[in-house]
């Protein structure tokens, strides 16, 4: 297929056209899509039609499907690989709100995610993305040297479990039962992408609580600086959703943030993640 890759911003993001992802695509097209992802960190498709089976089939072309440990699943619950991202009128929060990478409390976080829009607001509900290669590159040599040996403690206590309080605020529900237990793992603050070999920041304010060997109070000033630095406007792009739109992001080197500005409308999406 003769696909076209068109950047949407100077720092991150490109729209891919000339391909129907529901088709049984040849390997050369899958390779071109993967290269576009590596080049632009997040890629977008318009005017697609994906039922659950085709969504999972397209995702499998890039790796094994990841099953999220915390989400209460959508209608029927027969597809544990699908997370339904639903926003109802009056919700106080939206799933994905706040800058983050996905599921980083896992020992091996997902490499990426494919989010498909079913119903979207006429205005609002956009998603922001931030390039963490650029965030690392823009740091001083002294800061890079200081961060090089550090690891951060990632856990999911802010976004799941009986103390998170999120289920009362939004339609997308998470596990909050008494049998739930936190998942916690350490990850280097500076990651090295396994395919591109480039260094990137790997921190986010949803899952990271402190640096290894430091208290929360000691860690917070530096974390606050890095969180603000990582999402400087010149590292970002903004994507406006329409029904049939897809965003496919590289979870290893990007952050994203769902904008909560469509308070009286429905926003309904389905997501897969790639191990």
CB 117 within 8 A of CB 244: yes
pLDDT in tens, 130-158: 999 999 999 999 999 999 999 999 998 88
In this structure, the chain runs to a length of 275
Q: What angle do CA 53, 54, 56 make, to 5 degrees?
A: 65
Q: Which of 12-16, 99-103, 177-181 has the lowest mean pLDDT?
A: 177-181
Per-residue exposure over 195-220, b if at least 16 CB sit within 10 Å of its own CB, e if not: eeeebbbbbbbbbbbebeeeeeeebe
In the structure encoding, which two tokens stand for residue 63, read together?
């790796």
Please classify residue 187 by burial: count the beta carbons closer than 10 Å to its beta carbon, then call 0-12 exposed, 13-18 middle and 19+ buried. buried
78 pLDDT above the threshold of 80: no
pLDDT grade for 240, boundaries at 50, 70 and 90: very high
Average pLDDT, the chain: 91
For range 45-51, the mean pLDDT: 97
CB 95 within 8 A of CB 87: yes
Q: Which of 114-123, 126-135, 171-180 has the lowest mean pLDDT?
A: 171-180
Phi and psi dihedrals of 55, rounded to 5?
-60, -45
For the whole model, what pTM was predicted?
0.92
Nearest Cα neighbor of 99 from 236, 5, 199, 215 is: 236
Question: Which DSSP category does 107 fall into?
Answer: S
CB 42 within 8 A of CB 254: yes
The DSSP annotation for 63-106 comes to SPEEPPSSBPP-TTS--TT-EEEEE-TT-S--TT-SSB-TTTTS
pLDDT at 169: 59
For range 38-44, the mean pLDDT: 98
Considering the domain 4-274 in this protein, what is its CATH number? 3.60.130.10
Nearest Cα neighbor of 239 from 88, 60, 96 is: 96
Euclidean distance between CA atoms 215 and 273, whole angstroms? 32
Comparing 68 with 202, the larger pLDDT belongs to 202
CB 123 within 8 A of CB 262: yes
pLDDT grade for 180, boundaries at 50, 70 and 90: confident
For range 244-268, the mean pLDDT: 94
In DSSP terms, which residues pair with 246 in a beta bridge? 45, 116
Phi and psi dihedrals of 33, rounded to 5?
-65, -45
pLDDT in tens, 222-235: 999 999 999 999 99
Percent of the chain with pLDDT over 90: 76
113 pLDDT above the threshold of 70: yes
């Amino acid at each position: 297929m003769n696909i076209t890759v068109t950047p949407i911003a100077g720092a991150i993001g490109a729209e891919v056209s000339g391909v129907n992802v529901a088709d049984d695509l040849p390997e050369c097209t899958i390779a071109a899509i993967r290269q576009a992802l590596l080049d632009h960190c997040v890629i977008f498709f318009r005017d697609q039609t994906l039922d659950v089976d085709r969504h999972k089939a397209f995702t499998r072309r890039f790796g094994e499907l990841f099953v999220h440990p915390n989400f209460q699943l959508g209608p029927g619950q027969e597809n544990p690989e699908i997370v339904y991202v639903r926003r109802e009128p009056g919700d106080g929060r939206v799933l994905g709100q706040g800058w983050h990478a996905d599921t980083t409390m896992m020992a091996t976080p997902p490499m990426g995610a494919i989010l498909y829009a079913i119903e979207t607001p006429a205005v609002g509900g956009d998603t922001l993305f931030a390039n963490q290669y650029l965030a690392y590159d823009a740091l001083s040599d002294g800061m890079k040297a200081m961060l090089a040996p550090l690891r951060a403690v990632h856990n999911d206590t802010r976004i799941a479990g009986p103390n998170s309080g999120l289920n009362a605020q939004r339609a997308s529900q998470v596990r909050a039962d008494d049998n739930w237990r936190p998942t916690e793992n350490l990850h280097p603050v500076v990651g090295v992408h396994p395919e591109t070999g480039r260094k990137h920041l790997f921190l986010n304010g949803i899952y990271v609580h402190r640096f290894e060997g430091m208290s929360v109070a000691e860690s917070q000033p530096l974390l606050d600086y890095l969180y603000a630095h990582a999402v400087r406007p010149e590292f970002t792009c903004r994507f406006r959703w329409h029904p049939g739109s897809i965003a496919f992001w590289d979870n290893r080197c990007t952050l994203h943030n769902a904008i909560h500005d469509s308070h009286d409308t429905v926003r309904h999406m389905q997501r897969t993640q790639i191990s």
